[in-house]
A = this chain, B = another copy of it.
């Protein structure tokens, strides 16, 4: 993920949050994704800083800045973005989907502080709070249940901020078995099939080619190929040592 310093300029602002457990959960998600700065406006519970839900984020919660008004909480920010579940509120605000909005936020973070506002659990952001926002952002939830839990909404928004588009294209670092390794597995499998008498009972046309393709379809990681080879060799050894030997020249 991106370096934490990239997100030093973001202020997560919880406005009139009712449940201190949700404030703690928001702090935990911030800590998970590397956003250190929390601001709280008029929380319902003054003692929110002790919320046990802030697992691993007690320092972040302790250092949260408290404000009486949204205006004060966003005064030093050059971009203020409100979050909403509503799609067609009659407001004079552009409404952007999370996937696109976070791109604009990341861009703005290069030159100034950005406030990301979340409203209360029951009512979301008030019209007064929304009037401080440059634009709004929504998480693409289903029509049937658009309203998210506060802590979960914060987690999803911050995840989208740190999400790495390149990681979606490919993140495979597993070393696959080489053709030589796969060929050794194939050869030994064939030996085991012969030594076990399998091919006598169920003759297969073009058996080598068929088994070669069967083994390729396993798409084995290199280290797994080593394990399989070991197992098969042991089986072959045992089959042969038992006298149940059948050689190619039989």
Contacts and interface: CB of A to CB of B under 8 A. Distances in A.
Report, as a range, how many residues of chain A touch the other chain. 35 or more
Contact of A99 (B163, B172, B224): B163
A167 B55 contact: no
Contacts of A139: 32, 159
A25 interface: yes
Interface string A18-41: 000000010011011110000000
Interface in A49-63: 53, 55-57
Interface in A124-141: 139-141
A4 interface: yes
A140 B152 contact: no
Contacts of A169: 100
A167 B95 CA distance: 13
A243 interface: no
Given A29-B149, A152-B152, 17 more contacts: A28-B149, A29-B148, A32-B139, A32-B141, A32-B145, A33-B142, A55-B149, A56-B144, A57-B145, A92-B223, A97-B171, A99-B165, A100-B170, A100-B171, A100-B172, A155-B156, A160-B163
21 contacts: A1-B141, A31-B142, A32-B141, A32-B145, A33-B141, A53-B149, A56-B144, A56-B145, A56-B147, A92-B223, A94-B221, A97-B171, A99-B164, A99-B165, A99-B171, A100-B169, A100-B171, A103-B168, A148-B155, A156-B159, A165-B165
